[in-house]
Amino acid sequence: MDYWAGATAGSRMCQCGLLGACRDPTKWCNCDAEHAKPDEFQVDGGEITEKEFLPVKQLRFGDTGSHLDEKEGRYTLGPLLCEGDDLFSNAVTFRISDAIITLPMFDLGHSGDIYFEFKTTRENAVLLHSKGPQDYIKLSIIGGDQLQFQFQVGDTPLGVSVETSNRLADNNWHSVSIERNRKEARVVVDGALKNEIRTAREPARALQLSTGLVLGAALDRSGGFVGCMRALLLNGNPVDLRYYARRGLYGVSEGCMGKCASSPCLNNGTCLEGYDSYSCDCRWTAFKGPICADGNVFSTVQIGVNLRPNSIIKYDFLGSWRSTIAEKIRVGFTTTNPKGFLLGFYSNISGEYLTLQVSNSEYNFNIKESADAQFNNIQYMYIGRNESMNEGFVGCVSRVEFDDIYPLKLLFQQDPPPNVRSLGGGVLSEDFCGVEPVTHPPEAVETRPPPDLDLQHELDLHNTDEAILGSKFRYLATIIYLLQILI
């Protein structure tokens, strides 16, 4: 150790020196200070928290001055306290599909084992990959419920898969253990499900890998994994994944934290984790939109529909419609057509009707001349056109309201009632009619840094090219010289 308890590694200080609180400001430890009272003890102490220096196995004492000095020292060593689980807290998050961690080359040789845990919502992804001139190893998630370990030693590629009854892409932690020796390869999932394959009978040679062990995608960054990994053991030795995340690697974060950790879905919406994205389930809220923030669905704000010439939306008033003195009618629209039918109310019983339409870019209200100021027994509401028209409104209609009835809201809810339906123009889908939904500000886009170039490798390539070119030039010059002699 190059420091004393309570200070930081490499400081060569005691705790008081680190805090600037030593009895002698010119010293780094209290025990180095000169004092007048020989029976007064100076104290230095603190906690040792760096794991590489624990547990304490030996104490050594030294002194300055001569052996005739009247000096005395006392010490106490407290118990070793262990908290938490550093293996399982050593986690990282892959938040971009082409992000990778490149570990040093892993020597599987004739035998070896890999263990780690992961959680994700990605159905298909490469978890780890490494290869050599001919050999390789690769572990992948297939279809969200299968782990496949592929490897090649020599000319024959082999693979072993474990299929689970429950999903692996369920955003819960799952463990995987890979073991390989001269006779077989085995994959164990969640400590129970396993499968194995026998290797070739001929004498096995060592598996030769020349690249680093890549986590999070294939070597070319394809088939990327998004999610969390932790507790990586290579041949039983723990790997500090957090170390790589702290270096500021592209798309990799320390700890396990997805997009839903920031609670992006408002108004009690349910966040569906994707790690590189998220979506919000607003079904059990009174709101809608990408983050469950677009107006109460009962207010009909921003609920619209794009209509084609043959589109009809029909609402049937159920039972006997009560007589009213006044009604609130509301409709919003956008169009480039100078004419079209927006909204209409009809009664086959009383012959009453009211239509609202655009004609020559003007609003027009048509009301039956003999009608009084009341609706006595209205039966139908039409949006876009009625059943006797050949062509209807072309454009986007939104926020349709008749008193406390919101036909578009009813049409596009999960289980629409039978008295509101689309009769023509194919399947209609909900539209915002040019009103942008409420969303969070976009996140800053991360740019993948350019790959590190191996300068010596590049120089070797250039030197090889120059040597080949020089050889060809000398060969050509020799042929020309021989031709001149023959001529």
What pLDDT digit, counting tens, does each position of 133-179 carry? 999 999 999 999 999 999 998 888 899 999 998 899 999 999 999 99
d(CA 344, CA 323): 17
d(CA 294, CA 439): 9
Q: What share of the chain is helix, strand, coil (3-state, %, to 5)?
A: 15, 30, 55
pLDDT band per the 50, 70, 90 thresholds, residue 354: confident
Q: Which two tokens stand for residue 67?
A: 């052996």
C-alpha 285 chain-centroid distance = 25
Q: Regarding predicted confidence, which is higher, 120 or 301? A: 120
pLDDT band per the 50, 70, 90 thresholds, residue 203: low
pLDDT at position 244 is: 93
What pLDDT digit, counting tens, does each position of 91-138 carry? 999 999 999 999 999 988 889 999 999 999 999 999 999 999 999 999
pLDDT at position 454 is: 52
Given a cut of 70, is residue 390 above it in pLDDT?
A: yes
Among the ranges given (68-72, 147-151, 246-250, 321-325), the one the predictor scored with the smallest mean pLDDT: 321-325
Average pLDDT for 315-326: 74
Q: Cβ atoms within 10 A of the Cβ of 7, count?
A: 23
Average pLDDT for 386-414: 87
Average pLDDT for 343-358: 87
Average pLDDT for 181-199: 90
For the chain, the average pLDDT equals 84
Place of tokens 């969200």: 144
- Nearest C-alpha neighbor of 27 from the set 14, 45, 10: 14
What is the β-pairing status of strands 304-307 and 430-431? antiparallel
d(CA 12, CA 17): 9
Q: Regarding predicted confidence, which is higher, 352 or 204? A: 352
Q: What percentage of residues in the chain have a pLDDT greater than 70?
A: 85
Q: Which two tokens stand for residue 280?
A: 């919000």
Contact 121, 275 (CB under 8 A): yes
pLDDT band per the 50, 70, 90 thresholds, residue 217: very high
Return the bridge partners of 117, or none: 175, 230
Taken in order 417, 422, 428, 430, the sign of the CA dihedral is: negative
Q: Cβ atoms within 10 A of the Cβ of 11, count?
A: 14
Please give the angle made by the CA atoms of 473, 479 and 481, to the nearest 5 degrees. Answer: 100
d(CA 5, CA 14): 6
Question: Phi and psi for 486 in degrees, rounded to 5?
Answer: -65, -35
d(CA 487, CA 477): 15
Given a cut of 50, is residue 69 above it in pLDDT?
A: yes
pLDDT at position 120 is: 97
Contact 160, 197 (CB under 8 A): yes
d(CA 29, CA 14): 5
Q: Which two tokens stand for residue 86?
A: 């550093």
- Nearest C-alpha neighbor of 304 from the set 283, 280, 274, 334: 334
Taken in order 63, 67, 72, 78, the sign of the CA dihedral is: positive
pLDDT band per the 50, 70, 90 thresholds, residue 472: very low
pLDDT at position 314 is: 95
Contact 75, 60 (CB under 8 A): no
Residues in the chain: 487
What pLDDT digit, counting tens, does each position of 446-467 carry? 888 887 655 445 445 445 444 4
Q: Regarding predicted confidence, which is higher, 467 or 400? A: 400
pLDDT at position 12 is: 87
Q: Which residues contact 198 (CB under 8 A, 6 or more apart)?
A: 183, 184
The 3-state secondary structure of 232-256 reads EEECCEECCHHHHHHCCCCCEEECC
pLDDT at position 302 is: 63
pLDDT at position 376 is: 75
Q: In which element (H, E) is residue 71 found? A: none
52: helix, coil or strand?
Answer: helix
Domains parsed from the chain with CATH numbers: 1-83 (no CATH), 91-254 (2.60.120.200), 297-431 (2.60.120.200)
Among the ranges given (83-97, 135-149, 221-235), the one the predictor scored with the smallest mean pLDDT: 83-97
- Nearest C-alpha neighbor of 377 from the set 408, 353, 357, 400: 353
Average pLDDT for 319-326: 66
pLDDT at position 463 is: 53
d(CA 162, CA 174): 13
Given a cut of 70, is residue 181 above it in pLDDT?
A: yes
d(CA 371, CA 367): 7
pLDDT band per the 50, 70, 90 thresholds, residue 235: very high
Given a cut of 90, is residue 444 above it in pLDDT?
A: no
d(CA 99, CA 276): 11
Average pLDDT for 422-439: 81
Given a cut of 70, is residue 469 above it in pLDDT?
A: no
Q: In which element (H, E) is residue 155 found? A: none
Q: Regarding predicted confidence, which is higher, 278 or 193? A: 278
DSSP string for residues in 367-429: E-TT--SSBSS--EEEES--TT-SS---EEEEEEEETTB-HHHHHHSSS--TTEEEEESS---
What pLDDT digit, counting tens, does each position of 50-64 carry? 877 888 888 887 776
pLDDT at position 275 is: 96
